[in-house]
Chain A
């Protein structure tokens, strides 16, 4: 059963990922991306990483990818441009493909993880444990991320708002 579910979700994920790349219409590609993330979330559930699966669905599929979709529709991008495989682009594509194959091959040959069944539940696996760690052990990074969000917000305002000069330059 587990084997079947894994295959189901894995094939679904890969097909959706291929769909993101080959789709000429940006809206369809974004929807494929969301479906791909749903597939990955299903794989996470099978690994007992429920929190990660839900975070992936809520944050990435729910918010980030939906935002992509929204922006694509707002900008009204049409998939008119087609990429021809010509000249240097073909060579680059083949080189990248060869590198990818070499990477997958080397990991498959040498990078096999010999693992025994997990002895303990990882710190981030359950919501309560995760939250506890976040606000005790990792309190400092959380505070830094607060400042990170503040400067990103300021940056959006500075880069997008029309500025009227109100004072003389020093």
Chain B
């Protein structure tokens, strides 16, 4: 091998472009070293090290925005560094920070290894960040599998029978969805590489090349099967309607921080993929993609909200309400092709969802007992009297998820609705409004459980598990979330500009 090969290699694989992801991987390895070096105190050091590292990397990403590689393809076209990719990088880092904060509270109630949890969270986050910038189906699939396999482990981390059941269900459904998606990818690869068709290409996994091929063959039968299969695989990940069956059981069985991770980050992964694929690569197949997305959005909105009505376990409730949030986001995705502002609206909605969800999950981690799957609405009785701070954070989070006017969730829904209106999706919009009205009922049932006395219970016997006291780090994080939920509802300012910039 001569030196020129190495030179071209170095000029194409620009490792500097993915410094945050490399640092995250390094940090994950450092955590394992810490466990080796400090066998006695690592339970205390590791969460702090993970949090400090994540905050530092987040600061670095924000400080270096806009990145030097913006709108540039690196790694032989495997990655493309867009503005949206930067936004999602920040999103996944924020989510990872909050997952680690909640995990500190939740893991303290279990006698389980700690280091591996944080390690897997960091690696999965790095994979999510790469996925948000992927420009090639090979990298997309590899990163997606890293995310999914990490989540299989995290879901069954507590090793109780319910947790293991959830893990097994997630494994089987995840494998099914991955194989559907892979089958779709293979069909697209095969069709786009067929020399008999116009605009065929040897690099048919590359998004740009694939889009060019699809534009030249707008009604290819095999390609359309491939597109539907890929969309179905993504729909599994976001829990859209026909593919949502795993959501309640897995959300209930998974540990609370992992449920949060699934609900926020894993869903956001699906939507970044959907934006990249449905919005740009499959754009010339709008005749096919638009009805599929419309069907997903309408059924998901209806199913998520009506199924959540009857739930008493808060984890199942938040899981099914998460399905309905996926429906709102799908409404945004369906609007992308005709209303360009929808992309910014989706990013804003995702951030609003992140803030409110983690506020709620943070409170859930404090209220839950040692049996993590058993979190009933009744356990919240008297929370306002007992822990006014937690009750306030819960009320703000739930209010924002329901979309009550001054809070950030309302603005998120408003932007999505405006985009849908501009795109002319009036039918979907009507269904979404019905969904909002229904969702207020179950969110306020939860708030009612926390704020108002429940009748028919003896006052002296506490019917709920012991509530964890709020420590400084968690208190700070939860206050910041609650504050952001309120302030961003009034004033979107530079954040709104940044999110909706193209």
Contact = CB atoms under 8 A, between A and B. Distances in A.
Interface in A107-155: 107, 110-111, 113-116, 118-120, 122-123, 136-141, 144-145, 147-148, 150-152, 154-155
A106 B225 CA distance: 11
B288 to A, nearest CB: 14
A150 B87 CA distance: 28
Contacts of A107: 221-222, 225
Contacts of A113: 190-191, 194, 196, 222
A83 to B, nearest CB: 18
A169 interface: yes
B194 A141 contact: no
A137 B41 contact: no
Contacts of A115: 194-196
A148 B178 CA distance: 15
Contacts of A152: 149, 153
B75 A140 contact: yes
A167 B149 CA distance: 28
Interface string A17-48: 00000000000000000000000000000000
B208 to A, nearest CB: 15
Contacts of B153: 151-152, 154-155, 158-159
Contact of B116 (A111, A138, A140, A154): A154
A119 B195 contact: yes
A110 B40 contact: no
| Chain B interface size range | 35 or more
Given A155-B120, A166-B39, A170-B47, A140 B139 contact: yes
A86 interface: no
A151 B146 contact: yes
A145 B12 CA distance: 20
A167 B43 contact: yes
A166 B114 CA distance: 11
Interface string B87-116: 000000000000000001001110111001
B104 A170 contact: yes
Given A110-B221, A113-B222, A167-B40, A151 B119 contact: yes
B156 interface: yes
A102 interface: no
B159 interface: yes
A140 B136 CA distance: 12
Contacts of B196: 113-116
Contact of A159 (B111, B145, B156): B156
Contacts of A81: none
B442 interface: no
B116 A167 contact: no
Given A123-B202, A159-B156, A170-B43, A138 B138 contact: yes
B91 to A, nearest CB: 20
A74 to B, nearest CB: 18
B127 A147 contact: yes
Contacts of A114: 196-197
Contacts of B156: 159
A143 B103 CA distance: 28
B138 A144 contact: no
Interface of B: 5, 9, 12-13, 18, 25, 28, 39-44, 47, 75-76, 78-79, 104, 107-109, 111-113, 116, 119-120, 123-124, 126-127, 130, 138-139, 142-143, 145-146, 149-150, 152-153, 156-157, 159, 190-191, 193-197, 202, 221-222, 225
Given A136-B76, A141-B142, 6 more contacts: A136-B9, A141-B78, A144-B139, A158-B113, A158-B116, A167-B44
Interface of A: 106-107, 110-111, 113-116, 118-120, 122-123, 136-141, 144-145, 147-148, 150-152, 154-155, 157-159, 163, 165-170
